[in-house]
A and B are shown apart, each in its own frame.
Chain A
Amino acid sequence: MQEKTILQYIKGELSSSERASVLEWIRKDVRHQKIFNVTKAKYIASTINCFDKNDTKVAYESFYKRKNSKKKKKYYPIAAAAILLPLFTWYTFTGSLKNNFWTGTHYQSSAIKTVTTQLGAHKTITLPDGSTVILNSNSDISYAKSFSDSLRIVQLSGEAFFDVKRDTTRPFIVRTDQLKIKVLGTSFNVKSYPVDKSVETTLVTGKVEVLRKANEIPIVLAPSQKAIFDKEKKDIRINEVNSENVVAWKKGKLTFDQTPLKQVVLDLQRKYNVEFVIESDALLKYKYTGEFDNLNLTEVLDFLKLSSSINYKIVKNKIMLNSE
């Protein structure tokens, strides 16, 4: 392997398949590992003075406060266990054990609170900093009972609308499956169900940053933009949307705009707590546009039938969808 490739790997310039092959090469032989160790050390040494992303002032203030506080700080192994334990359940459940992106240690948390919603239910939560969260059905959110001095971190699985209190000294971070969303104060919607193909972040007001990894350049969203992260392809696409529609679920509405039927069905399952089966292959490709404004399940099915070529029948509590 060429040194140039190793260097590109260290700089994070390679695609995921190229990365995998470099990793394989390093792991194959201790001599390779040694070459990597030295190349990496040399690269860090040569760039150590170029690090200008500095928040040193804020960091110093935080250090100053902490060193003067008499309170004993919990060090990370203990606190990490406190946050990882409840999250681990979710972690295992979703089978995303492979993704270690957010296993970040949360040092200062003394106690973690988790709020869960059942299928078809919503909940409104007030966070310790006064921010509010409306949690959509079949979702859960975990957060420290008191946020740290420097960060406000919540962990989300599912969908939620956030209205974050502005606090420029403490960024608000939503950790979710493979993504992080960072804000100072703003309102936005995050949809990240483990079974869905993508993670969607939609900004209503203010400014948010979407990050795949901690050290990459964030994607900044403007109001009414939606960032769609494809979990398989690992890429992010930005769409202009009507943010009112995206957050319409808060008022019991479901809005679809050229949405693949597979996704429509996932949303309906969560809202109505029923199981759908798409029986025809043609329907898998079908994209649906329409709005269900506080309808009951029968009304939804009839509406679906009227507004598209989709027919349904109910067999043993399952709703079978067919094209006419």
Chain B
Amino acid sequence: MKREFQITNKYFIKNLNEGNKEAFKILFELYYPKLLYVAQSYITNREDAEEIIQDVFLKTWKKRKKITSNVNGYLFKMTKNLCIDYLRSKKYKLGKIISTGQLETFINLSALSDDSAILIVEEELAQTIQNGIELLPEKCKRVFIKSRIEGLKNKEISDELNISIKTVENHMSKALRHMRFHLREFLSFF
């Protein structure tokens, strides 16, 4: 499979390293709902899961210079580790009485710490993010990547690909329509 437009795209990573606002926005849009879903599945408290994922992105922002091409693994592992910390802190606070909730904390903690099991989720996450981008028609995809991932302006894309600005705009709106369809969470952004 052709993999030139991966989330690991070097321009995209470079933009993240430089703290490009658009690049971070797209990273957030792509990953937030999915990471939240994963966190919530293991820690069950929605608000705390939300806070954990906010932390994931804040930490990623602070350490943006260190992001490498494995941004998927980076975000996922941080989510996993923060959830583990959370469940651990909860385990100690609960005292000695064994309740259903406490047992669930235990088994979820074990499930999160099971590297081979959790890898299934990590790989699916990478795949599903990639699919949303891969499925775009070729030209459309190129424009989308240039614009949203590499952060070029419409004029720059038009110069680079030797197409009119109008065509760039058309490709963009087509790409966004596609993203709306394949990645529902884009709905609220564009």
A interface residues (Cβ-Cβ under 8 A, vs B): 16, 19-20, 23, 26-27, 33-34, 36-38, 40-42, 44-49, 51-52, 54, 56-57, 59-60, 62-63, 66-67, 73, 75-77, 80, 84, 88, 97-101, 103-105, 107, 150-151, 173, 213-215
Known: A80-B89, A105-B51. Is A56-B33 also a contact (CB below 8 A)?
Answer: yes
Whether B187 lies near A75 (C-beta < 8 A) is no
* CB pairs A–B below 8 angstroms (16 shown): A23-B104, A23-B107, A26-B107, A27-B107, A36-B107, A37-B117, A40-B117, A41-B111, A41-B121, A42-B120, A45-B125, A56-B32, A76-B55, A99-B101, A213-B44, A214-B40
Whether B107 lies near A214 (C-beta < 8 A) is no
B 86-142 contacts with A by CB, 8 A: 86, 89-90, 93-95, 97, 99-107, 110-111, 114, 117-121, 123-125, 128
Set of chain A residues within 8 Å of B119, measured between Cβ atoms: 41
What is the interface of chain B mostly: helix, strand, loop, or mixed?
helix
B169 CB–A CB distance under 8 Å? no
> B59 to nearest A CB, angstroms?
9
Whether B103 lies near A54 (C-beta < 8 A) is no
Specify the chain B residue showing the minimal Cβ separation from A215.
B46
B162 CB–A CB distance under 8 Å? no
From the candidates A45, A105, A151, name the one contacting B120 in the complex (CB within 8 A).
Answer: A45
From the candidates B50, B89, B124, name the one contacting A48 in the complex (CB within 8 A).
Answer: B124
B interface residues (Cβ-Cβ under 8 A, vs A): 24-25, 28-29, 32-34, 36-38, 40-41, 44-51, 53-55, 57-58, 61, 85-86, 89-90, 93-95, 97, 99-107, 110-111, 114, 117-121, 123-125, 128, 184-185, 187-189
Set of chain B residues within 8 Å of A214, measured between Cβ atoms: 40, 44-49
> A8 to nearest B CB, angstroms?
15
Known: A57-B189, A100-B105. Is A48-B117 also a contact (CB below 8 A)?
Answer: no
Known: A48-B38, A56-B188, A56-B189. Is A63-B124 also a contact (CB below 8 A)?
Answer: no
Set of chain A residues within 8 Å of B187, measured between Cβ atoms: 54
Set of chain A residues within 8 Å of B47, measured between Cβ atoms: 104, 151, 173, 214
Nearest first, the 7 A-B pairs at minimum CB distance are A45-B124, A214-B46, A37-B117, A98-B99, A51-B37, A100-B101, A37-B114
Set of chain B residues within 8 Å of A23, measured between Cβ atoms: 100, 103-104, 107
From the candidates A26, A46, A99, name the one contacting B99 in the complex (CB within 8 A).
Answer: A99
Whether B103 lies near A27 (C-beta < 8 A) is yes
A52 to B186, CA, bound (A): 10
From the candidates A73, A98, A107, name the one contacting B101 in the complex (CB within 8 A).
Answer: A98
> B91 to nearest A CB, angstroms?
10
A37 to B112, CA, bound (A): 8
Interface centre among B48, B97, B102 (most CB of A within 10 A): B48
A80 to B41, CA, bound (A): 21
Set of chain A residues within 8 Å of B24, measured between Cβ atoms: 67
Known: A54-B185, A98-B101, A105-B86. Is A48-B111 also a contact (CB below 8 A)?
Answer: no
Specify the chain B residue showing the minimal Cβ separation from A180.
B47
A215 to B37, CA, bound (A): 11
Known: A23-B104, A56-B185. Is A40-B41 also a contact (CB below 8 A)?
Answer: yes
> B92 to nearest A CB, angstroms?
11
A16 to B41, CA, bound (A): 18
Known: A23-B103, A44-B38. Is A215-B58 also a contact (CB below 8 A)?
Answer: no
Whether A60 lies near B28 (C-beta < 8 A) is yes
Known: A42-B120, A215-B40. Is A73-B97 also a contact (CB below 8 A)?
Answer: no
Whether A59 lies near B117 (C-beta < 8 A) is no
